[in-house]
Amino acid sequence: MVFIVGARSKKHYMLHAIIPHSAARNFPLLTVAGLLAVWNPKVEFMPQQELDELQLKLLKTMVYRLYNFSSFYKERMNAANVTPDDIHTLADVTKLPFMTKKDLREYYPDRLFTVPRREIVRYHASSGTTGKPTIVAYTRSDIEMWSESLARALSSIGLGPDDVVQVANTYGLFTGGLGFHYAAEKIGAAVVPASTGNTERQIQMIQDLGVTAMAATPSYMMYLGEVAEKMGVSIKDTTLKYGLLGAEPWSDKMRDRIQEWLGVTGINCFGASELAGPLWSECDHQCGIHIWRDICLLEIIDPETGEQVGPGERGEMVLTMLQKEAFPIVRYRMGDITTMETEKCACGRTHPRISRITGRVDDMLIIRGINVFPSQVEYCLHTNPEVGNEFQILVDRKGYMDEMMVKVELKPEAFTDNILELNALRERISSRLKSSLNVGAKVELVAPGTLPRFEGKAKRVVDRREI
Ligand code: AMP
Ligand code: ZN
C-alpha cells in the first residue's frame, strides 16, 4: 500500500513518503496510475475511536475558551445551565444551546467575534435576513483551517499540481472565489482567478491554459456549456474534467446532464460563509460530501423538536466549528435539510458524509448562488415610501439561469398613470434591490389591491424553477 502525500508546495510535491499508516488496512487504492493523492492521510483515514477522542478534545477546548472569554457564550451557556465541566462525551454537545441566523443579525457587526481586532486578517459577508449582511471575520489560523479543509476535498477527487483550476465564483465579499483560490493554490494547482461573467473569455481560458477543473455554480456550468456550443466549442473536447459545483441546490438529474453533455465530472461542494466559506466536497466516489470531523461536529436534528436523528434520517443540519478563532460557530442551525451517512466511504475516508441537500427549513431562496431572504426583500422595499404592504417574488429559470421578478403593490396615493414617473420609481426600487441583495431583480409595479391576500401566513414566493 502506498499513499502519495500532498506536500505543501508545488515545488516539493512528489511521492515523498510511503506511509505504513494503520488506516491503510482497508484502503482500496484507486485513481490515476493506481495511486491516490491524499492531502492529510493521518486525519482523513483516522480510525473512528481516534477521531472521537480528537473531536472531544477540540470540543472541550473550544467550550472552555468560549465560556471563559466570551460574554455572549457565557450568558448563553449559563441560561442553558451548562458549563465546560458538563462536557464529558461527544453526546454532551446537545447540552449546548443552538445558534441561528437571528443571533448573527442581533449581534451585528462584530459582537460575536472572540479575538481582538488586531488578530483579524480578513472579512467576508453574506446576505442577512434583513437589511444588514452577516459579517464573518478570520484570523490567520481561520484562513489556514479553511484552505486546509478544502485542500483535502480537492485532493480527494485527485486534483493536484498537474491541474489548472479556474475559479468562476465571485471574488469579493462572497467566499466562493477566494475559498477555492486558496485551496487550489495550497494543493499546488495553478489557479485562474476568472471570477464570474465574461463567459466567452472563460471558455477561451479553458482552451488556452488547459484548465482541468472549474469552480462554479452548477447553473453557471450549464450556461457555460450553452455559450461554448454557440461559439462552436465542445467542452467535451477540452481539458476540463471536473466541475467543483455548489453554492446552490442542484439535483442528480442536473449532474447527469453536466456529465453526459459536457464530459465534466460534477463534484458537489458545500460550505457557507458563516462557517468560513466552501469547505467540503465529495470525493471521487461522488457519494456524499465528507465533513472533516476535526474541523466540524456534524449533527442532524428534527427541526421541530431539536432532537438529533439517526444516520440516514432526514433533518436539519447543525454544525459546530471546532477550530474557529475569530467567529466561532456552535450548534449553528444551517436551515439545510439533508441526511448524515456514517458508513465508511469506498475511498477509505472515515469521516461522515452528508447527502445532497433537498431543501430548507426556512424561506431562504438561492438565486444564482446568492442567498435571498423574502424578509430582506421586504425590508428593502419598505425603504421606499411609495410602496404598499403587499409584494410577491416570482422565481423562474430561463435557460440555465435564475431570474427573479418582484411585483410591488404601490400605496393608493403613489399610484399614478404617469408612465414616466412609474418608470423612474421602478428604476429606483430595482437598483435598491440590486445593491441590497447583490443580485438583480426585475420589478413590476402594480395597482393597490391587485396582489393576492392571505388569511393565514402570506405566501410571498412563487418558485417555478425545476432543478
Ligand atoms: P453562503 O453563505 O452564501 O455561502 O450560502 C450558504 C448556503 O448555500 C447553504 O446554507 C446552502 O443553503 C446553500 N448551498 C451551498 N452549497 C450547496 C450545495 N452544494 N447544495 C445545496 N445548497 C448549497
Ligand atoms: Zn469518499
pLDDT in tens, 147-180: 999 999 999 999 999 999 999 999 999 999 999 9
Ligand 1 pocket list (CB less than 6 A): 126, 175, 246-249, 268-270, 272-273, 334, 336, 357, 366, 371
pLDDT class of 456 with cuts at 50, 70, 90: confident
Closest CA to 160 of 262, 294, 8: 8
Question: Which residue's CA is the closest to the ligand 1 atom numbered 16?
Answer: 247
Annotation: CATH topology of 39-49+139-362: Rossmann fold (3.40.50)
Q: Is the pLDDT of residue 44 over 50?
A: yes
pLDDT class of 406 with cuts at 50, 70, 90: very high
Question: Which residue's CA is the closest to the ligand 1 atom numbered 7?
Answer: 272
Q: Element (H or E) spanning 152, and its range?
A: helix 140-156
Q: Is the pLDDT of residue 35 over 80?
A: no
Question: Which residue's CA is the closest to the ligand 1 atom numbered 5?
Answer: 272
Q: Specify the pLDDT at position 467.
A: 78
- What residues does each domain of the chain span? 39-49+139-362, 367-463
Q: Distance between CA atoms of 140 and 326, rounded to whole angstroms?
A: 9
| Alpha carbon distances (Å) from 211 to 157, 194, 202, 237 | 16, 11, 10, 12
Instruction: Name the residue of 371, 373, 402, 465 to mutate for ligand 1: max ligand atoms within 8 A of Cβ.
Output: 371
pLDDT class of 131 with cuts at 50, 70, 90: confident
Closest CA to 45 of 204, 249, 226, 283: 283
Q: Specify the pLDDT at position 18.
A: 32
Q: Is the pLDDT of residue 1 over 60?
A: no
| Alpha carbon distances (Å) from 116 to 111, 124, 144, 329 | 11, 17, 18, 17
Strand 387-398 versus strand 461-463 pairing type: parallel
- What DSSP string runs through 228-280? HHHTT--GGGSS--EEEEESS---HHHHHHHHHHH--EEEEEEEETTTTEEEE
Q: Distance between CA atoms of 331 and 99, rounded to whole angstroms?
A: 6
CATH superfamily, domain 367-463, is ANL, C-terminal domain (3.30.300.30)
Question: Which residue's CA is the closest to the ligand 1 atom numbered 1?
Answer: 272
Percentage of the chain beyond pLDDT 70 is: 92
Q: Is the pLDDT of residue 224 over 90?
A: yes
The residue type of 174 is F
Q: Specify the pLDDT at position 114.
A: 98
How buried is residue 441: exposed, middle or buried, by Cβ count under 10 Å (0-12/13-18/19+)? buried
Q: Distance between CA atoms of 51 and 63, rounded to whole angstroms?
A: 18
* Contacts for 321 with CB less than 8 Å, ≥ 6 apart: 275, 276, 295, 296, 328, 329, 330, 332
Q: Is the pLDDT of residue 322 over 50?
A: yes
Between the CA of 191 and the centroid of ligand 1 the distance, in Å, is 23
pLDDT class of 466 with cuts at 50, 70, 90: confident
pLDDT class of 275 with cuts at 50, 70, 90: very high
290 near 267, Cβ under 8 Å?
no
Q: Distance between CA atoms of 39 and 51, rounded to whole angstroms?
A: 17
pTM of the entire structure? 0.90
Ligand nearest to the CA of 158: 2
Tell me the average pLDDT across 349-361.
97
Q: Distance between CA atoms of 314 and 305, rounded to whole angstroms?
A: 13
| Alpha carbon distances (Å) from 69 to 64, 66, 82, 325 | 8, 5, 15, 11
Residue 335 CA: nearest ligand 1 atom is: 10
Q: Distance between CA atoms of 358 and 251, rounded to whole angstroms?
A: 9
How many CB atoms are closer than 10 A to CB 452? 10
